[in-house]
Structure 1
Amino acid sequence: MLSSSQIKAARALLGWSGTDLADKSGVGITTLRRYELQEGIPSANTSVLMLIKRALEDAGIQFTGDPLVNPGVVLHLSPSA
């Protein structure tokens, strides 16, 4: 799982707007904004959270730690970056 703070941090590391993540994940921008406003793990359909997670991971994000206790993200830059 992932927390709302991890979603926001991952977007910041990638320099993505909410619209960018919505486009890349296939999740509506309104849904994404609602998730980001929540604390901890968003009250969401698991399959929707997995779409968000997959889009961020495909862009080089690694989620670390426990999403409730010590959530973290790491950006792995491609060798060409």
Structure 2
Amino acid sequence: MITAAQLRAARALLGIDQRRLAELSSLSVPTIQRMEASDGVIRGNVDSLMKLVGALDSAGIELIAENAASQGGGRGIRLKAPAESETVAPASLPSGNGA
């Protein structure tokens, strides 16, 4: 399973746009757009999901399931489960403009 947030993050780590991901996965740009606009886990036909995951894997992305250990080496990031009392809204994150 892959979430829309994982997909957007993977694309950002690769430094590619939706059009390039569509080319790599042999999917249409509207399909990639729909997947990225999903809430939570991406739903779609199995063939499209397999193409997407395969393309990300070939490009060097390791998808890590929740509570799973990463088997590969290399750099990466992972979201921690937020504590019940702390939630961070995307708008409250730093803007990245030198702060």
Structure 1 Cα separation of the partners of residues 60 and 27 of structure 2: 19
Larger radius of gyration: 2
Structure with more helix by fraction: 1
Given that residues 25 and 51 in structure 1 are in contact (C-alpha distance below 8 angstroms), is that contact kept between their aligned partners in structure 2? yes
The 5 A counterparts of 1:1-81 are 1-66=1-66, 76=74
Q: Structure 1 stretches (4+) deviating beyond 4 angstroms?
A: 74-77
TM-score (norm 2): 0.65
Aligned residue identity for 1:57: D
Following superposition, the deviation at residue 40 of structure 1 comes to 1.1
Structure 2 Cα separation of the partners of residues 12 and 75 of structure 1: 19
Structure with more strand by fraction: 1
CA displacement 1:23-66 (0-9 Å, x = unmatched) = 01001000110110011112211210110110011011001122
Q: Give unmatched runs, 5+ long, in structure 1.
A: none
Q: How many residues align?
A: 72
